[in-house]
Amino acid sequence: MSVYSINHIMQVISNYINGHLVQPLSGKYLDNYNPATGEIYSHIPDSDESDVENAYKAANEAFKSWSQMPSEQRFKIINKIAELIDSKNEELAIAESIDQGKPVWLAKNEISRAAQNFRFYATAAMQFASESHNIDGHAVNYTIKAPIGVVGCISPWNLPLYLFSWKIAPALATGNCVVAKPSEITPMTAFMLSEICNEAGLPDGVLNIVHGLGPKVGNAIVSHPGIKAISFTGGTATGRHIASVAAPMFKKLSLELGGKNPNIIFADCDFDKAVKTSVSSSFLNQGEICLCGSRIYIEKSIYEKFKIAFLKEVEKQIVGNPLDDNTKIGAIVSNQHFEKVLGHIKIAVEEGGKILCGGKAVNPASNPGGWFIEPTVIENLNAECRTNQEEIFGPVVTLTPFDSEEEVIQMANGTVYGLACTIWTENLGKAHRTAASVNAGIIWINCWLLRDLRTPFGGMNQSGVGREGGYNAMNFFTEMKNVCIKI
Ligand code: NAD
């Protein structure tokens, strides 16, 4: 087990425009905090629309040659990015851990997955064929799937490089040029990606990364008339705003938004697996994963037994220094989010919730100034209360008993969201019935976070619009043109 150390030199992040690492035109910078110490450790460009304009011009200029480059050559460059990410796994993981607060062992896993995003889409682009339809031998249709041009990718802070690459990789692989913005709260690995892209030989202007605030840089990307498609992952309120700007401009829009995911435990489940996996799905990455289950519904006959076993497992979750490999739960990403999560715990108590464990901020001896919260388990709340309706996005879960399949499906479907759901049962019929009845874009049966990049990924209702993943993402980043020829 290792404890990694921090380089104390203040780092200054640059924008990446037209292949160059550049300062923001305003010359202004924002502070970037290490959540595990509460200290400023780097400065990030406070960019504005003039930087976005330069990024757009570079992308637009690069589009013709990038989109016309033989796919084999594009494949080699994108694959090289994947190789370089893999070769720098530890360096990137430590940077991600310092920036975001997640344990470094988890960051290593996510960085590998970011490399896999590039590798997967580089390969998928080589297989991306179009259909042909014959009309009774007297006409033939074929479909051209053409890159859109310049597209915008905006990502959140919870899985920084993974989600950034989840968008950029399919956009580039299908021949688009990109203006991208990572979260201002976790910009570091996106900055490191700029250097990797140059090392991989990505032509100038193909990918441009503009750092800064959402309402300035993000808004400039969304409202830019030349940027034809927006792929956004983040909160539902931000997604709603983005839709209101992009829809009247008739932009293509992919929205991956918030969730309040149910975890359904039937009495006939594989008990030990259900308990252990539910602890991970509640607290991995401090509960800051859009796919985390935050409402655990347990069939009444095993409620007490499950509660005792679950709490026993939660006790083993060591909260502390993200750079220590023994740590299970790291720091909450920002002071603002830390206060928000604590505020939600207070609301839960006011609503009559009984805190079974956690419920407070912690100060680990190694990191006294950091933003840490104990894993928190709450019971005695009804399905309609704010705690069970609003996304908390932290290490907080509720336990609720249920009597019947019908009742639990109603409770599971009783929020405005519809992102993910986990079902635990050994009864095949019940598993399929429940999966078909739950309103969620992603359903796991007897597992959680088992991902296959070919599958559709996204949410229903206020959890999003559209699907990414596999050919869904490639279809999103291309414009289809049907050509009909009379024979
Ligand atoms: P956020 O909406 O605050 O920010 C996301 C990104 O949007 C950031 O880069 C931000 O700078 C930018 N942004 C903010 N205001 C903007 C504006 N007016 N115009 C354009 N861009 C703007 O979200 P967050 O707090 O960074 O991330 C947490 C949220 O993301 C949670 O709700 C979580 O559920 C969601 N999320 C969803 C998925 C998914 O796949 N559905 C995955 C991860 C996170």
Q: What is the 77 CA–ligand 1 centroid distance (Å)?
A: 29
Chain mean position to CA 329: 18
Tell me if residue 447 is catalytic.
Answer: no
Predicted confidence at residue 7, as pLDDT, reads 65
Say how many Å lie between the CA of residue 233 and the centre of ligand 1: 5
How far apart are the CA of 317 and the centre of ligand 1, in A?
27
Looking at residue 131, its pLDDT comes to 85
Q: Binning pLDDT at 50, 70 and 90, where does residue 4 land? A: confident
Ligand 1 proximity of 235 Cβ (cutoff 6 Å): yes
Give the tens place of pLDDT for each residue, 407-458: 999 999 999 999 999 999 999 999 999 999 999 999 999 999 999 999 999 9
The confidence score (pLDDT) of residue 130 equals 86
Mean pLDDT (whole number) for 449-468: 97
Of the candidates 26, 38, 30, the one whose C-alpha atom is nearest the C-alpha of residue 213 is 30
Mean pLDDT estimate for the chain: 97
pLDDT at 51: 98
| Minimum CA distance residue for ligand 1 atom 14 | 214
Please answer whether residues 121 and 79 qualify as being in contact, where contact means their C-beta atoms are separated by less than 8 angstroms.
no
What does the alpha-carbon distance between residue 221 and residue 434 come to, in Å, rounded to a whole number?
40
Residue 415: phi and psi, rounded to 5, are: -125, 175
User: Which pLDDT band holds residue 78 (cuts at 50, 70, 90)?
Assistant: very high
The span from the CA of 110 to the CA of 153, in Å, is 19
Q: Can you give the pLDDT at residue 1?
A: 56
- How many CB atoms are closer than 10 A to CB 407? 15
Ligand 1 centroid vs 158 CA: distance in angstroms?
9
CB-based contact 205:178 (threshold 8 Å): no
Whole-prediction pTM: 0.97
Of 8-22, 372-386, 420-434, least confident by mean pLDDT is: 8-22
| pLDDT of 3 | 76
Report the distance separating Cα 317 and Cα 281, nearest Å.
Answer: 13
Q: Tell me the mean pLDDT in the region 51-64.
A: 98
Q: What is the mean pLDDT of residues 36-43?
A: 96
Residue of 197, 290, 292, 421 with catalytic role:
290
Q: Is the CB of 222 under 6 A from ligand 1?
A: yes
**Helix, strand, coil share (%) of the chain residues, nearest 5:** 40, 25, 35
Residue 6 has pLDDT above 80, yes or no: no
At residue 37, φ and ψ (nearest 5 deg) are -125, -20
Please report the pLDDT score of residue 335 as a whole number.
98
Indicate if the pLDDT at residue 13 is higher than 90. yes
Report the pLDDT value the prediction gives residue 9, as an integer from 0 to 100.
Answer: 75
- Span 243-268, mean pLDDT? 98
What integer pLDDT is reported at residue 8 of this predicted model?
A: 64
- Across 142-158, average pLDDT: 97
Task: Give the number of the atom of ligand 1 that is nearest the alpha carbon of residue 236.
Answer: 32
DSSP code, position 159: S
Checking if the pLDDT of 2 tops 90, the result is: no
Is residue 405 flagged as an active site residue?
no
- Cβ atoms 218, 234 nearer than 8 A: no
pLDDT digits (tens, 9 = 90+) for 123-134: 999 889 888 999
- In the block, tokens 């009783």 appear at 414
Look at the alpha carbons of 420, 240, 47, 80 in this order and tell me if their dihedral is positive or negative: positive
Is residue 198 scored above 70 in pLDDT? yes
Q: Which residues contact 219 (CB under 8 A, 6 or more apart)?
A: 245
Average pLDDT rounded to a whole number, residues 377-404: 98
pLDDT at 333: 98
